[in-house]
A and B are shown apart, each in its own frame.
Chain A
C-alpha cells in the first residue's frame, strides 16, 4: 500500500436543471481499494459513477487522478482525447448490460484484442495469445475465441466484458451493477472471479450496486447514497453490521434472509 491516493474527489455535484443528480460528494480512493456505492434506483449512484469516469461532466467540484508517472491531473480539465486515452488504458468500465461494453458483432478474441491494439500492440500472434490467456482467466474456453458475443449467454458476456476491460492492466475499474440481471448461481461465479482478480491484480475499483451482499463480498469501504447525497460511509462491515443513518438501517433491515 502506498501512502498516496489514486483518486481524489472533492465536493462533486451534478444537477439536471433544478433536479439533483448527486450533491457534494467527497472521498479519496487508494490503490487496491474497492469502494462500493449503494442505494436504491434514483439515489444518484450511477450519476456519480458516470461523473467519476468522465462519461458525464459534473456541474461543480473536482476530481484528480494520479497518473502512472505520478503526476496529478484534474479529470475535468483534461482534453477529450486525453480522457479517452485514459479510459482505454488505465481505466476500465464494466457496464451492467454487457452489450453496452462489448462489440457484439466481432469475435470474442477481437473484443479483447481491440483494447490491446488501442495501446499500440500490433503483433497479431501476441495479441491472440494474450486474448486466449484472458479468456481462460475469466473461464471462457479457448474454442469460443472466434465466436461473436451474440452467441454467448448473459454470464459469459459479462465475463468477456471483464476480460476486455482488464487486458490492458488498468489501475482503476468502474463497475455499474456488474452482477445485475444474472442468475444467482452465475452471479456467485462472477463475484468469486471478480474478487480473485481484484485481489491478484491489486486493482482499485468503484462498484455501484443495490445488492448489499455484493458490496460485502467485493468491497472494503462503502458509501450509502440517498437523494443524491452520501448519507453514510465507512468500512463495509461496519456500515452493514452497525448502520447509523436511518436510511442505511432501512436498507439493511430490508434484506431478505435465505
Chain B
C-alpha cells in the first residue's frame, strides 16, 4: 500500500515587508512520512514550527522549498506546488483538518456546521445530519445546542463542534492541531477513542498534542520538530 503522505526537504520562512523586509526563518529540511493507520505527533516547544508544518500540509501556508507528496485519488500530487483548485479538491477528498478554533459562520446551526463537509462531498443532507447527531452525542454536546449557531458556545463546546466536523468525513489523512486543548477529561477520552477508530480504519494521522496523557494514548511515534529548526540544516 502506498504511503499516503511524504514530506521532503520542506522549508518555510516569513518575510515581513512592513518591517523592512526582515526574514523570519521557521523550519527547514522538514522530512518525514506517515503510514496509513498510524498516528504521528509533532513534538517540540512552542514556536518550533509545529503549527506552521500542519498549515503547510493543508495548503493554508505557502511552502518555500521542498515537496509534500499526497496520495490523492489514484494519483500522487505535490501540494507544495499544486494549484488552488487542486488544493481545494485535496481538502474535500483527501486531507481533513481539525483546527484549534472554530471559525463560526453567522446563523448556521451547530448540526449543519458538522454536517457540511459531508454535504460538500455530495452526500444527502439528511443522512449527513444523522451522522452529525451521532458524533455530537458521542462528544456529549447537549442536544439543546444542536440547532443553535455555535458563535455563543463556550470554548469547550465550540471545540467539540469543531472535532465532530473534522471527524465526520472519511478523509484518508487527518491533521489535528491541539484538538483537546480546552476539553475536560471525559471528552478528552472520547477524542482518544475517535482517534483510535480512525487508526483502525487505516487513516494516516498527524497531530499536535500538548496534553501528555492524550499524546501517550494516541501517538505511535513523535517527530521532533526542533531537528528542523531553520538554519540548523544549512550549518
Q: Which of B15, B16, B87 interacts with A235 by CB under 8 Å?
A: B87
Interface size on B, residues (CB 8 A): 19
Residues of A contacting B: mostly: helix
Q: Which of B15, B55, B59 interacts with A244 by CB under 8 Å?
A: B15
Complex contact A234–B17 (CB within 8 A): no
- Assembled-state Cα–Cα distance A221/B14 (Å): 21
Complex contact B106–A188 (CB within 8 A): yes
Nearest CB on B from A221, distance (A): 5
Whether a CB of chain B sits under 8 angstroms from the CB of A30 is yes
Contact with A along B68-91 (1 / 0, CB 8 A): 000000000000000011011100
Whether a CB of chain B sits under 8 angstroms from the CB of A195 is yes
Complex contact B89–A1 (CB within 8 A): yes
Q: Which of A195, A234, A249 interacts with B84 by CB under 8 Å?
A: A234
Complex contact B59–A189 (CB within 8 A): no
Complex contact A238–B16 (CB within 8 A): no
Complex contact B85–A30 (CB within 8 A): yes
Interface residues of A in 200-258 (CB under 8 A from B): 217, 220-221, 234-235, 237-238, 241-242, 244-246, 249-250, 253
Whether a CB of chain B sits under 8 angstroms from the CB of A121 is no
Whether a CB of chain A sits under 8 angstroms from the CB of B61 is yes
Interface residues of A in 54-91 (CB under 8 A from B): none
A235 and B106 in contact, given A1-B89, A244-B15 (Cβ under 8 angstroms): no
A249 and B107 in contact, given A237-B60, A242-B60 (Cβ under 8 angstroms): no
Q: How large is the interface on A (under 10, 10 to 19, 20 to 34, 35 or more residues)?
A: 20 to 34
- Assembled-state Cα–Cα distance A191/B107 (Å): 10
Complex contact B89–A235 (CB within 8 A): no
A217 and B15 in contact, given A1-B89, A235-B59 (Cβ under 8 angstroms): no
- Assembled-state Cα–Cα distance A245/B21 (Å): 11
Nearest CB on B from A56, distance (A): 27
A238 and B107 in contact, given A220-B84, A249-B16, A249-B18 (Cβ under 8 angstroms): no
Whether a CB of chain B sits under 8 angstroms from the CB of A147 is no
- Assembled-state Cα–Cα distance A235/B89 (Å): 12
For this complex, 26 residue pairs linking A to B, each with C-beta atoms less than 8 Å apart, are A1-B89, A30-B85, A33-B85, A189-B106, A192-B106, A195-B105, A217-B105, A221-B84, A234-B62, A235-B59, A235-B84, A235-B88, A237-B60, A238-B59, A238-B84, A238-B87, A241-B55, A241-B60, A241-B61, A242-B55, A242-B61, A245-B17, A246-B17, A246-B18, A250-B17, A250-B18
A-B pairs, 6 with minimum CB distance: A246-B17, A188-B106, A235-B84, A242-B61, A192-B107, A249-B17
